[in-house]
Amino acid sequence: MLFEKYQSVIEDAQHANQLRGFYSHYPEHPKAYGEDAMAKGEDAFKKLLNHPFEALLQEEATGWEGEEISPYTLENLGVTYPILPVGTLVSQSIRGAGQWSDTPVQERAALLVESLEKIKERFFEIAYATMHTTGQSFMMSFQASGPHAADRALEAIAMGFQELTRFPAEVNWTKPMGKSAITLEKTFRPMPKGTGVVIGCSTFPVWNSMPGIYADLVTGNPVIVKPHPGAVLPIAIVVAEIQKTLRENGQDPHLCQLAADTAGHLIAKKLCNHPLVKLIDYTGGTAFGNYVESIPDKTVFTEKAGVNSVILDSVENMRDVAENLAFSACLYSGQMCTAPQNFFIPASGVGTPQNNLSYEEVVAQIKEAVAALVSNPKMGAGTLGAIQNEKTLERAKAVTQEQTGIALQGDAVPNAAFTHARTFSPTLLETDAASHELYEQEFFGPVIVLIRTKDTAESVRLAKQMAEKHGAITCAAYTTRPDVMAVITREMNAVFAPVTFNLTGYIWVNQHAAFSDFHVTGGNPAGNAGFTDPMFVVNRFVWVGNRIMKTGV
Amino acid sequence: MLFEKYQSVIEDAQHANQLRGFYSHYPEHPKAYGEDAMAKGEDAFKKLLNHPFEALLQEEATGWEGEEISPYTLENLGVTYPILPVGTLVSQSIRGAGQWSDTPVQERAALLVESLEKIKERFFEIAYATMHTTGQSFMMSFQASGPHAADRALEAIAMGFQELTRFPAEVNWTKPMGKSAITLEKTFRPMPKGTGVVIGCSTFPVWNSMPGIYADLVTGNPVIVKPHPGAVLPIAIVVAEIQKTLRENGQDPHLCQLAADTAGHLIAKKLCNHPLVKLIDYTGGTAFGNYVESIPDKTVFTEKAGVNSVILDSVENMRDVAENLAFSACLYSGQMCTAPQNFFIPASGVGTPQNNLSYEEVVAQIKEAVAALVSNPKMGAGTLGAIQNEKTLERAKAVTQEQTGIALQGDAVPNAAFTHARTFSPTLLETDAASHELYEQEFFGPVIVLIRTKDTAESVRLAKQMAEKHGAITCAAYTTRPDVMAVITREMNAVFAPVTFNLTGYIWVNQHAAFSDFHVTGGNPAGNAGFTDPMFVVNRFVWVGNRIMKTGV
């Protein structure tokens, strides 16, 4: 039995989910995976280029298409994927659904952990595929699409396992009736809702999709994985390994299919509206996210856009804070859903243990820290990575042309390893609290807005308003005053935005750790669900209780 | 601290929720409440009649209205309730919300149990109020609106308590970083989503509303209780006791308000659409239920209509089965959401250990059992109770005029205690499988449809189809063949309908026991949620995690 092999992995993960302290099953350092793993991975990745991706076990392709372009080389990857009609995808998905649903949850969960172990063998290949589709640096590609994504998948498996085994499968219910009694034998079955669709984004094609994929599967549902046409390869490798594991264990590989499409013929809408599709996980822009949430009779989990704030009140050391924030904002050129965008700074400045730094000094230090990081030959290009697509680049460029109050002009940053890389460093805009229309927009990409406020109370009010109106996944706050910390916590939490206080050094607000941080609260417009709280799994199945008369009066 | 007083009650209920065996906190027998409790309750009820209901602690009434009519006397109860504008209700609801949300869950849960203890003191009063608004018999009124409703409320409190205390309030997260480490202090706060509205129905004004009311409150949300204008008094007493308990414990009584309205000026739509209303619990007809589910940005829990089936395959003793089904169908004149309506009987008859009973014999036995129960002077009137409203009566009468194939004609049944009671006994229609359009309707009230099918396979196919298309809350099946039992279970569970097998004697398919049976699965059109599975509570709040830097590198 597969369960015995992975029982301790599942139990440890379940325990970690409960404790929410530090835990990881897959080491985040590439070195932990052996000396030659990186070179082998790069080699395997290169072999995939300019070929049809034939590792999938799914049938009935009507064509092969692919249009991924590396943000580092601006060249087409040349990989094509099977194209399947929506009707075919859905009907194939349910073919093995009965057997999957009837498989004991212990075996389902163990099979899914086994698939993660197979995926682990391809972490480096997936990393290169992520790098050359998303524009992330190699290190971020490796961590986000490799160990961090696998940990989040394991977290979803463990949370699902716990919920599915929460009630007894069978119980005798005996009601005393005076001198006699009535006994019913009751069974409780967690029934999967039906086929799921997981719609991926172009920037985190693996990390943002794996929780939904594994949550669907562990709760007994088939899943159709619809990647962004610009970032297919990394998740295609994941799907191929899941399919292989399914087949090896006597399950239908179509329980997890890849639904590749092209920019000219997008299928997400049709897929979501198929009557047999019951579950939808979506990561991406707000407009389509709101549309998906509005489709009747679907259970929908979304992560949409948001505007993340930084509230600067008082600090121990402004240079440390500026460096930490500069790194957060530069990381992957601000293309993270957790990246800070709006920095609220009081006109009266920011207090420190020594003195009060004026507003201008604070702005100058942030600007210097960003400029120093961008121009650092060892750090700059690697931290920024590349811009995933032309639109993001154009938006960043437009800011430098259209806006006034530019504190720091963004520009292309040379990348020694990739001379054609699509790069752009952060533009820092300076404005005041009155200019709502400017900082209410989400500038997805390398744009930071520094906002001069009357005082911290106004900063908090505006950050709260932004989170309530436009959503927020993170909020970074800096204060040395306990009463201010309490106010910021209360106000931001009231609009379901989590707050991270006083980060400096090698830890950044952008990071949400599996087994500890819930990613997206589900309470504001940034999304209606999060990785992986109980809601993320319990809404994928329903409890059905049957009763059989045993003895009566 | 109130928690110490009720800790064991909450823990026992939580334990019972897990085990799902027999458990009740409030005895279901009126005798358990003392010799004179009934007389005192009736007296208290009578004192409420023909007066304004002044026990509520809510402010800003703009008028007093009431239009309840007793189905037993056909007289107006003469009780009026404060009418408050929707805007006032909502703004009053949030006044004390911050304090309520900040109150530790232990204290919130204990306060809510205390409110149940106060409600217990008024079980008999509530029973008479239920009887004279819904038309239920006294015994059903007592049990459904008293101990059974209180048990379901306690179940919701316990499930909420468990989920809200599921993760540590505070944890140190220490990430090893080579020779050093980074520590973040993390806090996890379950944040209530916001004001809830609980819309009640005219037949089970207490039982169907208390789980939503208590689930909202235990998860930290204020709640506005919008009863059906025809059945206000029983839940008004409940709200008054909750308000009293809130005030006694230093909370704002407006955390739980009564939103009475009148048939001429219904406020449910306006209430549900108020932007500050975040949670909606609804019991009632399908059309409005579907509408409520479609309102954007609300978390909605519905119990709508359904068509419940009986599948007759083979039995130990047909007379026992017929008597059990007759009672189920007659109980409260079929005005229960769990009442069986469509009886599928194979043309080849029903097997017994002795012989095969022909289809005609089975129909005859069901008909006889219903007729015998209805005409039984000790049982008939009490089992049937009264018809809640004229529309239900008219629909039942229309069936006897419009339909052919009437196996048993329904009619008024004299009630010795209430000569003006609005009564009607079940009409039995006989039809065949082809007459879909007939038995696809929900005949809410005293109508049973006997459907002649080709065989059990067809019975199962049709029952499944009805559940999938129109919803089902229960399915009663009778078979002595294990393979048939397995098929019925598989097929009905696939459309999220629970099956109860082979009930005879003093237990009926209509009954769903707290702490054991989930009421409504949430998977078919009969409703999207059920009492009280984890989903019913976790969707009412969101987890927000905050992080504070402690030590870094």
A188: contact with B, CB 8 A cutoff:
yes
Instruction: Check A500 against B193: CB less than 8 A apart.
Output: no
Instruction: Check A498 against B548: CB less than 8 A apart.
Output: no
Q: Which residues share a beta bridge with A427? A: A447
Instruction: Check A22 against B176: CB less than 8 A apart.
Output: yes
Amino acid identity of residue B548, one-letter, is: I
pLDDT of B401? 86
Under 8 Å between Cβ of B267 and B502: no
A178: contact with B, CB 8 A cutoff:
no
Instruction: Check B535 against A538: CB less than 8 A apart.
Output: yes
B523: contact with A, CB 8 A cutoff:
yes
Angle of CA points A160, A164, A169, to nearest 5°: 165
Reduced to 3 states (helix: H, G, I; strand: E, B; else coil), residue B183 is: strand
Which residues does chain A have within 8 Å of residue B186's beta carbon, measured at their own beta carbons?
20, 516-517
Give me Rg for the CA atoms of chain B: 25
- Out of B171, B189, B533, closest to residue A21 by CB: B171
pTM over 0.95, yes/no: yes
Instruction: Check B505 against A552: CB less than 8 A apart.
Output: yes
Nearest residue of B to residue A164, measured between CA atoms: B534
Under 8 Å between Cβ of B538 and B164: no
A358: contact with B, CB 8 A cutoff:
no
Which residues does chain B have within 8 Å of residue A544's beta carbon, measured at their own beta carbons?
493, 496-498, 518, 521, 523
Which residues does chain B have within 8 Å of residue A14's beta carbon, measured at their own beta carbons?
none
- pLDDT lower than 70: segments of chain A: 553
User: For residue B438, what are the CA distances in angstroms to B407, B430, B449, B524?
Assistant: 15, 10, 9, 20
Nearest-CA distance B258 → chain A (Å): 26
A31: contact with B, CB 8 A cutoff:
no
Best mutation target, B338, B549, B550, to test chain A (most A CBs within 10 A): B549
Tokens representing A45 are 């990745």
pLDDT of B402? 84
Which residues does chain A have within 8 Å of residue B513's beta carbon, measured at their own beta carbons?
173, 175
A–B interface: beta-carbon pairs under 8 A: 200
Reduced to 3 states (helix: H, G, I; strand: E, B; else coil), residue A301 is: strand
B319: contact with A, CB 8 A cutoff:
no
A414: contact with B, CB 8 A cutoff:
no
Give me Rg for the CA atoms of chain A: 25
Which residues does chain B have within 8 Å of residue A504's beta carbon, measured at their own beta carbons?
549, 552
User: Count of H helices and E strands in chain A?
Assistant: 20, 19
pLDDT of A413? 95
Instruction: Check A500 against B294: CB less than 8 A apart.
Output: no
- Out of A163, A171, A499, closest to residue B20 by CB: A171
Kind of pairing, strands B350-351 and B356-357? Answer: antiparallel
Nearest to A358 by CA among A345, A374, A369: A345
A530: contact with B, CB 8 A cutoff:
yes
CA B33 vs. chain centroid, Å, equals 23
Instruction: Check A552 against B506: CB less than 8 A apart.
Output: yes
Nearest to A70 by CA among A124, A135, A125: A135
A180: contact with B, CB 8 A cutoff:
no
What kind and span of H or E run contains A164? Answer: helix A147-164
Instruction: Check B22 against A175: CB less than 8 A apart.
Output: yes
- Out of A188, A296, A544, closest to residue B294 by CB: A296
d(CA A430, CA A282): 33
Buried b (16+ CB within 10 A) or exposed e, B132-165: bbbbbbbbbbbbbbbbbbbbbbbbbbbbbbbbbe
Which residues does chain A have within 8 Å of residue B498's beta carbon, measured at their own beta carbons?
544-547
pLDDT of B553? 67
The interface predicted TM-score of the complex, written ipTM, equals: 0.96
B500: contact with A, CB 8 A cutoff:
yes
Under 8 Å between Cβ of B402 and B437: no
Instruction: Check B505 against A184: CB less than 8 A apart.
Output: no
- Out of A167, A496, A505, closest to residue B544 by CB: A496
pLDDT of A404? 85
- Out of B293, B503, B539, closest to residue A535 by CB: B539
What kind and span of H or E run contains A186? Answer: strand A180-192
Amino acid identity of residue B417, one-letter, is: A
Which residues does chain B have within 8 Å of residue A489's beta carbon, measured at their own beta carbons?
546
Buried b (16+ CB within 10 A) or exposed e, B370-382: bbebbeeeeebbe
- pLDDT lower than 70: segments of chain B: 553
User: For residue B210, what are the CA distances in angstroms to B24, B119, B533?
Assistant: 16, 11, 15
Strand order in the sheet with A500-501: A406-408, A427-432, A447-453, A342-346, A309-312, A475-478, A500-501, B541-551, B180-192, B170-177
Which residues does chain B have within 8 Å of residue A497's beta carbon, measured at their own beta carbons?
544
B517: contact with A, CB 8 A cutoff:
yes
Q: Encode pLDDT of A489-514 as tens digits.
A: 999 999 999 999 999 999 999 999 99
Which residues does chain B have within 8 Å of residue A535's beta carbon, measured at their own beta carbons?
535, 538-539, 542
pLDDT of A402? 84
Under 8 Å between Cβ of B418 and B73: yes
Which residues does chain A have within 8 Å of residue B168's beta carbon, measured at their own beta carbons?
19-20
Cα pseudo-dihedral B1, B3, B7, B11, rounded to 10: -160
Instruction: Check B545 against A175: CB less than 8 A apart.
Output: no
Best mutation target, A516, A519, A541, A553, to test chain B (most B CBs within 10 A): A516
Instruction: Check A504 against B552: CB less than 8 A apart.
Output: yes
A21: contact with B, CB 8 A cutoff:
yes
SS3 letters across A497-513: CCCEECCCCCCCCCCCC
Which residues does chain B have within 8 Å of residue A502's beta carbon, measured at their own beta carbons?
548-549
Best mutation target, A325, A535, A553, to test chain B (most B CBs within 10 A): A535
Under 8 Å between Cβ of A211 and A156: yes
Nearest to A281 by CA among A204, A335, A338: A204
A 436-495: CB under 8 A from B: 485, 489, 493-494
Nearest residue of A to residue B295, measured between CA atoms: A294
Under 8 Å between Cβ of A200 and A217: no
d(CA B383, CA A7): 53
B178: contact with A, CB 8 A cutoff:
no
Buried b (16+ CB within 10 A) or exposed e, A45-58: beebbeebbeebbb
Nearest to B471 by CA among B336, B305, B300: B305
A 239-298: CB under 8 A from B: 293-294, 296
What kind and span of H or E run contains A63? Answer: strand A63-65
